[in-house]
Amino acid sequence: MNRLLAYPYLLAFIAGAIAVLGFAPHGLFPLPPLALAMLFWLWSRAERPRRAAALGFSFGMGLFTFGVGWIYIALHEYGYMHPVLAGVATLLFAALISLFAALAGYLQARCRAACRSGFNPTAPSLAEARPVPGSVLLLLIMPAFWVLVEWLRGLMFTGFPWLVFGYAQVPYSPLAGYAPLLGVYGVSLSVAASAGLLLFGLQACRRAAGKMALGGLCVLWLIGGALQQVEWTQPQGESFKVSLLQGNIAQDLKFEEHALVETLETYRRLAESSAARLIVLPETAVPLLRDNVPQNYQIMLGEHARRNGGDILVGSFEREAGRYYNSVYSLGSAGSQHYRKNHLVPFGEFIPLRGWLGWLINELLQIPMGDLASGGAGQPPLAVAGQKIAVNICYEDAFGEEIIRALPAATLLINVTNDAWYGDSNAAIQHNQLSQMRALESGRMML
């Protein structure tokens, strides 16, 4: 044990990297609570807040370097950034979001110091103060601050809630049963509480309190499993057929003018081969402004949808009053409606602090349609194919608090996305795991 403690930052880094295996596609859902238990153990031995912060940062670097390293693919292969710069940018991004894990470490340590010193802000180091009971530390303080910073990470700087530990529990973990009641952060709290219960139970296994902690861990997971058996919502209306089309257009060809005719023909052929009442094309499947899409092409798609007694949803771009939008619009029986993406990707769809960073980003990256406008919050569901459909585009389904705005009116959720930006990495299947959580939270199908 002492030899392990000689390398605490390496241990924290390895624990963070191991936690990645809990997420899709690996699905080893017990690993995140085990990894978090390791971090809590290291935090409990950190003598000063800055040391606890450094341990949290190391854990975050392991988690995000291996968990979202696919950002490199988008920057280099499709954004044409120099490979060295893309690698540095990827590591800097991992470091930036690792600061939230560092913040959790710092806050829990300061809280412990305050408890030990009677909330005296000039208290000495943690090692010199009276101890906080292990049950309070592991079952309340550490889990609470971990989930707090996960929530902050999904909120600040437009938000990046990827690899929130609650997502690793869907769809198979018993803890996923808490999702309809508590949402992803409630599930994440159950993960953090599991880590605390396990660690305290092992540390105090010979005492009654330790045995109670291990028993509480079992109860927490058993209740979650029981909640998974509950049908929280009921189907509405009759079943109907849906076709989700994928033309498999290479990302490096998608916005090339010479490939446009083939792209349009591919999706026309796929659409006309479907007899589904609702046909859905991917995000920006038609890589043109809607005004520039040939009128006869849109007429053909609309007429086919009407013959099927339904509608087709087309991913494209729209322009209005000099502003450009990433949009999904409908053609067919219900008349044309549209949804315009609200939550844009920083540096991919808009440039934050454009006055300061715009020139630099334009030099480093070459991303088509990289300066879009937001469609705004509160857009109504699309009333198509006999349903009220809450459409979300790309990583908008990572933000549950935004998806829920369409409820209870929406009867169906649809996410259109283009994860080809990230090649054959884990990005797409991690994204699918986020969609699974939204379906559990809302009690709606997510297509």
Active site residues: 283, 341, 394
Residue 397 in contact with residue 376, Cβ under 8 Å? no
Interatomic CA distance for residues 10 and 57, integer angstroms: 11
Neighbouring residues of 194: CB distance < 8 A, sequence distance ≥ 6: 33, 175, 217, 220, 221
Burial tier of 248 (Cβ tally within 10 Å: 0-12, 13-18, 19+): exposed
Q: Which residues of 279-294 are buried (b: 16+ CB within 10 A; e: fewer)?
A: bbbbbbbbbbebeebe
Q: Give the integer Cα–Cα distance in Å for 148 and 280.
A: 37
CA pseudo-torsion sign 447, 430, 199, 39? negative
In the chain, the largest separation of any two C-alpha atoms, in whole Å, equals 78
Decide: helix, strand or coil at residue 243. Answer: strand
Bridge partners (DSSP) of residue 344 are: none
Residue 34 CA to residue 16 CA, distance in Å, equals: 10
CB neighbours of residue 266 within 10 Å: 17
CB 252 within 8 A of CB 78: yes
Strand-by-strand arrangement of the 382-384 sheet: 382-384, 387-393, 412-416
DSSP string, 134-162: HHHIIIIIHHHHHHHHHHHHTTGGG---T
Spatial neighbors of 335 by CB under 8 A, at least 6 apart, are none
